[in-house]
């Protein structure tokens, strides 16, 4: 394995040979990449690192955060291409008819705000974004922003839609064309794994939010008025305050046992409700903002168990390394479905001992369960 180093003008600077590396690919959070190798060249102007096999096949690419020299030794710290989305943008939906709640339209709107900029340096390294057509209407679930404008971090805004609709942004670098390519991907593949094939210590996760309520923030200083719209006063001459209306706009969301987020009424009589109920309330000036926060809260509560499988210790013919991120793994125990978790991380290491791959299922950051194929 070696790494090709390019500058911001896409010019090849050097190759870093005889590398060892650690690479963690993640669904939503930025990937982590660190490598050590040998090069006698000056690589201070490095901007892109492209890792390839000894026969020149593409493996991975990222931005270069920094390269530390020590004689001919080069220590490379990578920066995920996805960080290019972590920038603030203005989304203006104040013109009449400017809101379109179709999913792919929202993806394209954010993409344009980030990369179709008059700032000449934003795309100094050209960027191509591949977004599939998805006409799913997001308005009922996540609200309408018509008549509003939003100043937001582009990736933070996207993550709610990505998590709820189970999309992931994958990236690669086209060396010939000299451009970064992003692709919005929805993985629908499901594979089955029998827990009886594993040595495991099974632990359930702690309770997380399973109900979220979105409502409009009420101004308690709102004065009471009579039928003619005149302010009503107390005996002491102060304006009488109007109680918070019971009819104020409110939306209710529930997370069920299948990790589905369901919108229903206040009674929440839906299949698979989770007990005990753990509720969070979200109040904002606009209902759409509260809806966004409520759905995002539940999206972050999905698939929270955490299982790590060491792919090199498998005796089963399943090779988890070949499956893309967010592939769903159905875990069975005694012939019954225990739960379904997505591949959330691939942890790949290459050193003197060889190449090792671990697969992480679920999104909880604290390790609760380890399954090692024995």
Q: Quickly list DSSP for 75-104.
A: EEEEE-GGGGG-SEEEEE--STT----BHH
The answer on 201 and 333 residing in a single domain is: yes
User: Which residue, 36, 54, 79, sits at the end of a domain?
Assistant: 79
Rounded Cα distance between 345 and 364, Å, is 11
Residue 205 confidence (pLDDT) = 59
Q: What is the CATH number of the domain that holds 160?
A: 3.55.50
Rounded Cα distance between 320 and 323, Å, is 6
Rounded Cα distance between 5 and 74, Å, is 11
* Domain region containing 69: 2-79
Rounded Cα distance between 6 and 49, Å, is 7
Identify whether 297 is part of a domain: no
Residue 373 confidence (pLDDT) = 32
The answer on 112 and 140 residing in a single domain is: yes
Identify whether 60 is part of a domain: yes
User: Which residue, 29, 48, 79, sits at the end of a domain?
Assistant: 79
Q: How remote is the C-alpha of 40 from its chain's centroid? A: 38
The answer on 340 and 196 residing in a single domain is: yes
The answer on 95 and 72 residing in a single domain is: no
Secondary structure (3-state) at 173: strand
CA distances in angstroms from 369 to 8, 246, 302, listed in the order given:
43, 45, 16
The answer on 181 and 194 residing in a single domain is: no
The answer on 194 and 180 residing in a single domain is: no
User: Which residue, 43, 58, 79, sits at the end of a domain?
Assistant: 79
Query: pLDDT by residue (tens digit) across 168-204?
Result: 999 999 999 999 999 999 999 999 988 776 655 444 5
Identify whether 43 is part of a domain: yes
Identify whether 296 is part of a domain: no
Strand partners, 193: 331
The answer on 123 and 101 residing in a single domain is: yes
pTM above 0.85, yes or no: yes
The answer on 269 and 314 residing in a single domain is: no
CA distances in angstroms from 22 to 70, 162, 181, listed in the order given:
19, 26, 22
Identify whether 13 is part of a domain: yes
CA distances in angstroms from 158 to 63, 103, 108, 114, 151, listed in the order given:
21, 10, 11, 12, 13
Domains in the chain, number: 4
The answer on 198 and 159 residing in a single domain is: no
Are residues 201 and 278 in contact, defined by beta-carbon separation less than 8 angstroms?
A: no
Name the residue among 207, 209, 208, 213 with its Cα closest to residue 293: 213
Identify whether 243 is part of a domain: yes
The answer on 268 and 245 residing in a single domain is: yes
Residue 220 confidence (pLDDT) = 93
The answer on 69 and 38 residing in a single domain is: yes
Rounded Cα distance between 255 and 273, Å, is 7
3-state secondary structure 105-151: HHHHHHHHHHHCCCCCCCCCCCEEEECCCCCCECHHHHCCCCCCEEE
The answer on 227 and 195 residing in a single domain is: no
Query: pLDDT by residue (tens digit) across 156-177?
Result: 999 999 999 999 999 999 999 9
Identify whether 109 is part of a domain: yes
Residue 369 confidence (pLDDT) = 37
Are residues 336 and 317 in contact, defined by beta-carbon separation less than 8 angstroms?
A: no
Are residues 290 and 340 in contact, defined by beta-carbon separation less than 8 angstroms?
A: no
Residue with tokens 């380890």: 370
Name the residue among 107, 128, 132, 139 with its Cα closest to residue 186: 132
Are residues 191 and 224 in contact, defined by beta-carbon separation less than 8 angstroms?
A: no
Could you say which residues of the chain have pLDDT below 50?
201-203, 365-374
Identify whether 140 is part of a domain: yes
Rounded Cα distance between 372 and 23, Å, is 20
């Amino acid at each position: 394995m070696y790494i090709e180093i390019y500058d911001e003008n896409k010019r090849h600077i050097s190759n870093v040979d005889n590398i060892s590396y650690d690479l963690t690919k993640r669904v939503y959070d930025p990937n982590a990449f660190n490598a050590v190798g040998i090069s006698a060249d000056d690589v201070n102007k490095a901007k892109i690192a492209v890792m390839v096999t000894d026969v020149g096949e593409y493996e991975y690419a990222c931005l270069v955060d920094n390269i530390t020299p020590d004689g001919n030794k080069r220590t490379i710290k990578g920066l995920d291409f996805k960080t290019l989305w972590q920038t603030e943008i203005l989304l203006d939906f104040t013109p009449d008819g400017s809101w379109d709640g179709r999913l792919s339209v929202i993806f394209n709107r954010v993409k344009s705000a980030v990369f179709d900029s008059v700032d000449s340096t934003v795309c100094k390294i050209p960027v191509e974004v591949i977004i599939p057509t998805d006409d799913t209407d997001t308005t009922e679930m996540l609200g309408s922003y018509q008549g509003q404008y939003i100043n937001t971090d582009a990736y933070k805004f996207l993550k709610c839609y990505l998590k709820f609709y189970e999309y992931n942004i994958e990236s690669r670098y086209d060396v010939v064309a000299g451009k970064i390519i992003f692709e919005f991907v929805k993985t629908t593949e499901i594979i089955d794994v029998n827990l009886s094939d594993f040595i495991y210590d099974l632990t359930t996760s702690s309770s997380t939010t399973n109900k979220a309520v979105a409502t409009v923030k009420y101004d308690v200083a709102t004065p009471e008025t009579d039928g003619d719209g005149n302010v009503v006063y107390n005996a002491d001459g102060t304006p009488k305050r109007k109680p918070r209306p019971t009819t104020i706009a409110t939306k209710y969301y529930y997370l069920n046992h299948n990790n589905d987020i369901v919108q229903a009424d206040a009674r929440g009589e839906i299949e698979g409700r989770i007990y005990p109920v753990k509720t969070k309330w979200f109040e904002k000036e606009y209902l759409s903002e509260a809806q966004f926060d409520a759905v995002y809260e539940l999206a972050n509560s999905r698939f929270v168990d955490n299982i790590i499988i060491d792919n090199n210790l498998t005796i089963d013919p399943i090779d988890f390394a070949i499956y893309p991120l967010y592939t769903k793994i159905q875990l069975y125990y005694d012939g019954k479905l225990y739960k379904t978790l997505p591949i959330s991380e691939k942890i790949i290491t290459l050193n003197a001992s060889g190449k090792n791959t671990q697969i992480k299922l679920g999104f909880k950051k604290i390790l609760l369960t380890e399954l090692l194929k024995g």
